[in-house]
Amino acid sequence: MSDGNRVYIFDTTLRDGEQSPGVSLNAEEKLQIARQLARMGVDVIEAGFPVSSPGDFRAVQAIAREVRGVTIAGLARAEKLDIDTAWDAIRMADQPRIHTFIATSDIHMQHKLKMSRDKVLETAEAAVRRAKGYTPDVEFSAEDASRSDLDFLCRVIEKAIEAGATVINIPDTVGYAVPSEFARFISEIRSRTRGIEKVVLSVHCHDDLGLAVANSLAAVVAGASQVEGAINGIGERAGNASLEEVIMALSTRKDQFGKYTRIRTEEIYRTSRLVSNLTGMVIQPNKAVVGKNAFAHESGIHQDGMLKERTTYEIMNPEKVGLSHSNLVLGKHSGRHAFKNRLEELGYNLNPAELNKAFQSFKSLADRKKEITDHDLEAIVDEEIRTVDPVYSLDYMHISSGSSVVPTATVGLTRAEDKLQEAACGNGPVDAICRAIDKVTGLSCKLSSWEIQAVTSGTDAIGEVTLKITPDGERFYVGRGISTDILEASAKAYVHAVNKLIWDSEMGR
């Protein structure tokens, strides 16, 4: 049974979020995100679906072993192999949870499972009992619950509770519900299901109609005490409920909800940036809470109001979500101590080797840019503190391009002690760079997406390039690079993605 006023936050960025088309995180990247989620204070991290692949199993196992002070969940279908594999992956967690599920809607039972209602009842009960034999903390989800027959759904939930489930999750799997309807649905489940008061009642809403956050909050009002979702709302199809929006709605409108979470909201922005950087899913500027325009004001009327009183047009303090407004300016004369101190204020605690690497990049940038902002520092750390040891590193690049010449790139890379150089022509300078890098590495990859954002303002702004490459049309690798030269940033990003591809190949993924 849960604290009546507390809402538990179940993060599925690393499981459902990673199912976003074109997203593929390696074990080290998943571990980095999991550590940040724990720092932010989520209650549960759904680390993955262990039976789905050896790579996912290793990632879940690493998270269970290394991330402490938070519940680590592994997803499992209502099948013996799935449940056994999930337990093998999470058994070393200090708070392990097996999350097992089966569909309960007629459309799923008939067309996907090809099971009768009685068979689904039997399978659900057996799955929970098997999971309970491994760990006392078992979550049961009724997939496509919002389109299920309510009487049958309540019977399945009762069987799961009798078998030992401690959390019951009600998913709106295809984002079909609307808030008033979903609130009534949750209320009916609470009133018609025996034993429901003994468990944590959870919801997992998808955003196909743009209602995932609204449905989640409506469910909280109706009595749900756990909300499942993902950072930045990533996930299958249109994604999941955006956890940062749910959290800040509960915090900002305590008068309405009367609920609290244990989230350290000052970590929200940093967590959002990390997920965006590692998945390659760029955050839309007008995204609530974490978009770059979320606290920006252009209208003269708005600006006038803000200058007189911030709350005229801001219902949240940007510092509450981790957006700093420090007046400390760093430049080329700043020392290591000031640099380290500012990083710590931003939430980055680097080891000596990482600090040295980041400081050298800071000094290099300071020679080209008069003032270094917090956004610059975040970009430097995100760029330099890599999750994959580089096989190749960029030494130099030279570009010949113009309206009347064929774009040509010469690229120099280092591999171990070897200095390697190749040149290539392309349809444009970025294409030429990629072709030259392919010639050095011997790989042939398709550039499936390329995006650039200005990290800071001004003509000397840092450009951040995010791109995706694929060697076969099935696996995708995200690369990121920053520089005041967008072509250099592109080269760095392509090399970064290639290093990930090589790392995966060597790990046998």
SS (H, E, C) 223-275: CCCEEEEEHHHCCCCCCECEHHHHHHHHHHCHHHHCCECCCCHHHHHHHHHHH
Give the model confidence (pLDDT) of 271-287 as tens digits. Answer: 999 999 889 898 888 99
- Sign of the Cα torsion 467, 472, 476, 477 reads negative
Q: What is the pLDDT of residue 312?
A: 80
Q: What is the reported pLDDT for 417?
A: 87
* Count of other CB atoms within 10 angstroms of residue 430: 24
Q: Both ends of the chain: CA-CA distance in Å?
A: 41
* The pTM of the whole model exceeds 0.95: no
Sheet holding 477-483, edge to edge: 446-454, 463-470, 477-483
Q: Which residues pair with 206 in a beta bridge?
A: 240
Question: Is the pLDDT score of 503 beyond 80?
Answer: yes
Find the length of the chain. Answer: 509
Instruction: Name the amino acid, one letter, at 64.
Output: A
Average pLDDT rounded to a whole number, residues 490-503: 93
What's the pLDDT at 413? 96
Q: Looking at residue 253, what is its pLDDT?
A: 96
pLDDT above 80 for 299: no
Per domain, the residue ranges of the chain are 8-279, 324-384, 392-507
Query: If pLDDT is split at 50, 70 and 90, which confidence band does 439 have?
Result: very high
Rounded to a whole number of angstroms, the CA Rg of the chain reads 25
54-79 average pLDDT score: 97
CA separation for the pair 240, 172 (Å, rounded)? 10
Average pLDDT over the chain, rounded to an integer: 90
Reference 365, options 246, 283, 456; nearest CA is: 456
pLDDT(303) > 70 = no
In the chain, the percentage of residues whose pLDDT exceeds 70 is 92
Which CATH number is 8-279's, of 3.40.50.2300, 3.20.20.70, 3.50.50.60, 3.40.50.2000? 3.20.20.70
Q: Half-sphere exposure of 430 toward its Cβ, with a 13 Å CA cutoff? A: 18
Angstrom distances, CA of residue 317 to CA of 129, 251, 265, 301, 320: 47, 11, 11, 19, 5
pLDDT at 327 over 50: no
pLDDT of the residue at 1: 44
Encode pLDDT of 96-110 as tens digits: 999 999 999 999 999
Burial (CB count <10 Å: 0-12, 13-18, 19+), residue 320: middle
- Structure tokens, 397: 């690049």
CATH value of 392-507 in 3.30.465.10, 3.40.50.300, 2.60.40.1930, 3.30.160.270: 3.30.160.270
Q: Which of 18-22, 72-76, 405-409 has the lowest mean pLDDT?
A: 18-22
Tell me the mean pLDDT in the region 133-149. 98
Q: Which long-range CB contacts under 8 A does 57-61 form with residues at least 24 apart?
A: 57/85, 57/88, 57/89, 58/27, 59/14, 59/25, 59/26, 59/27, 59/30, 59/31, 60/86, 60/89, 60/90, 61/88, 61/89, 61/90, 61/92
pLDDT value, residue 457: 66
pLDDT at 324: 64
Residue 415 confidence (pLDDT) above 80: yes
Decide if pLDDT at 341 tops 90.
no
